[in-house]
Chains A and B, each alone.
Chain A
């Protein structure tokens, strides 16, 4: 515990910037992650709007310089994944929830925790330098050589952004795994953990195993570019395929680092808003969550089917990739099953969950063709892929993040939000993303429109559909603005929140105030034999 633990500082006490920057309180660290990740979401979202506007017509629309478009795309991809989703999930939600859900006063290493968030902010600042340096990176978030090695763009900026955020994640992993293993309040046994806690553990186990590999790959990239090594140079005995392998060996599991905590949040909301026990808890935890972890390391080959890997490897990877449907299917069955005999209330967070069901269903099902190597030949590198991963990752997970933020909002700020604004924001977002990403998939598979294209003079027949997609993305923007307004509205005019507005059985709602004081619980938590975070209906 930090020295200031005894002072009960809450969000409502007088604002002091210094206290915020040097805080070691996990709740404040969480809020710093929240602010940083939404800032990244905001800037990367502006890039998305610029790109969509550019694509609304053939020929120059916003800019006549393809390099500018490529810079937007680079920033959008890198910032959305490394700056927004991973930090929002494994930074904000983990920090805010984990100690509260297990009845701990703070994390195991509060200073290391503060250091993580600093590294993350440095990564964000470094990423933002993209817009001020004369030679911004233009290598996409994947950074494939040889292009990333011969480009005049600044590949080092990419390398160091990835390394900073990677270190931040590793520190977070060590911290939270220790916290969960060592600091659970008496009585909270393994099979009474919140699903979100299990998901966090799984995500950090994946991070600890695979982040170092990404670190190695991007470091070798800069060595090749600036120090003249030839790791990825086919003409000097290296091979670019090595990079592709290392990159996806991390970046496919990274999808689960994003997916698992997101699904964990969805589980918490579903349980609370249907006041029901989790359907087949052990199947979800040991089959769904840990099954995903086990498979995560052996499927990355499906990203490189057409890069000429051996046929036998293509076969194995096709099968392992298809097998992912098993643990993911178990997770979905657990979610849908929890609705059975529940008592469902459609407050804003629950609406986002309903949205998640639909968006993730489309995203998951459209992933099945991607696993099949022969089908993949046609759709690789097309807008089909763009549409698919926006469904399965970008917008599904965003419903979890925004819905989850509405869910903790009363606890975190001590204020209620306005339901009407919350629901309006969701509706706009939901309509917008479906227009945008359905037609994005459509032009990819039907016309073969490739991704990462600044222009499409060779596909004149799709200009009309492109306009529809752009229109959809403006509706998303409108939705995002309504969400933002609802939060600001709540901070200024929101009513005072009760301690447990949702009637949840989970510790963070039942055992402490809104917002919780520093140290979280005024007296040490101890739960009884028959306590369960999902113990409804007794």
Chain B
């Protein structure tokens, strides 16, 4: 290897390492959506690569070895024991390496999904046939409409009043099952102001596809005002 190549390879490695280290930790709170999208993109490149190689080889063989005369027969020889062994061990090794590589990446992201940042606010969610009830720390309750302040991590405690539902926010790449008699959770942190769909992804009967609502991400001060305006006036009524 000459010196130029060495620097190119070292440079690429360095950039990769820096990118890995930098992904998703801007404000100390992992960005699940960005992390998910990143891993997804890598997966797609990975499988597209394998796919194109396989496809190219298959098409090449299909075209190259078409029958040329009616009585022709195939002429492959029996593999030597060494070749046969190699054709098992080498693929096994490659697949295993790829699998371990993917699994390792997966667990980094999985841990971010399952470890809730310490400063998260907690909202209780109860799924029912067919809708979602929310209860805020201040005692406010809403149905099918979840308001959250922008930039703040939110932990949702999930349960169900009846059958299994699954709480899904496509825009945040986040989802978890809500099961009667169990307390599950998920968390997210909205980066920008806006509205996002919440929808159910576990079959729960006739109106399963109608079991949706929305998340409204608000500026922190507007959210605080909304809480002030709506919180139950203790004992006044």
The answer to the question of A115 belonging to the interface, with a C-beta cut-off of 8 Å to chain B, is: no
| Interface residue from A240, A319, A323, A377 paired with B175 (Cβ < 8 Å) | A377
Does B147 sit at the interface, judged by CB under 8 A?
A: no
By the criterion CB–CB under 8 Å, are A452 and B109 in contact? no
Is there an interface contact between A380 and B175, defined as CB atoms closer than 8 Å?
yes
Q: CA separation between A339 and B76, bound complex, in Å?
A: 9
> Which residues 324-346 of A sit at the B interface, judged by CB distance below 8 A?
325-326, 329-330, 332-333, 336-346
* A-B Cβ contacts below 8 A, count: 236
Verify A448–B170 contact, CB threshold 8 A.
Answer: yes
Chain A minimum-CB-distance residue to B198 = A458
Cβ of B75 and Cβ of A315 under 8 Å apart? no
Our pick among B84, B99, B179, B210 for the contact of A307 (Cβ within 8 Å) is B179
Do the beta carbons of A374 and B106 come within 8 Å of each other? yes
Q: How far is the CB of B23 from chain A (nearest CB, A)?
A: 13
B226 within 8 A of A: no
B14 is an interface residue with CB less than 8 A from chain A: no
Is A282 in contact with B55, judged by CB distance below 8 angstroms? no
B203 is contacted by which of A140, A354, A366, A536 (Cβ under 8 Å)?
A140
Task: Give min CB distance, B27 to chain A, whole Å.
Answer: 21
Cβ-based interface call for B193 (8 A) = no
Pair B179/A240 contact, Cβ less than 8 Å: yes
With a CB–CB cut-off of 8 A, which chain B residues contact A67?
A: 206
Number of contacting residues on A, CB 8 A? 85
Asked whether any CB of chain B lies closer than 8 Å to the CB of A229, the reply is no
Q: Which of B36, B174, B175, B197 has the most CB of A within 10 A?
A: B175
Residue B204 CB within 8 A of the other chain: yes
- Complex A-B: 24 CB contacts under 8 Å: A66-B207, A67-B206, A235-B180, A274-B65, A276-B75, A279-B79, A306-B166, A330-B91, A330-B92, A332-B54, A336-B58, A336-B61, A337-B87, A338-B76, A341-B65, A343-B68, A357-B58, A365-B50, A368-B46, A369-B47, A373-B106, A373-B110, A377-B113, A378-B174
A297 at the interface (CB under 8 A from B): no
Interface: B73 (CB within 8 A): yes
A341–B76 CB distance below 8 A: yes
Query: Given the complex of chains A and B, what is the CA–CA distance between A280 and B66 in angstroms?
Result: 21
For chain A, residues 445 to 504, give those with C-beta under 8 angstroms from any C-beta of chain B: 445, 447-448, 450-459
Beyond A308-B177, A366-B47, A368-B102, whether A150 also contacts B210 by CB under 8 A is no
Question: Is A315 a contact of B170 with CB atoms below 8 Å?
Answer: no
Interfacial chain B residues near A381, Cβ < 8 Å: 166, 168, 175, 201-202
On whether the beta carbons of B197 and A326 are closer than 8 Å, the reply is no
Residues B164 and A240 in contact, CB atoms below 8 Å apart = yes
A319 to B103, CA, bound (A): 6
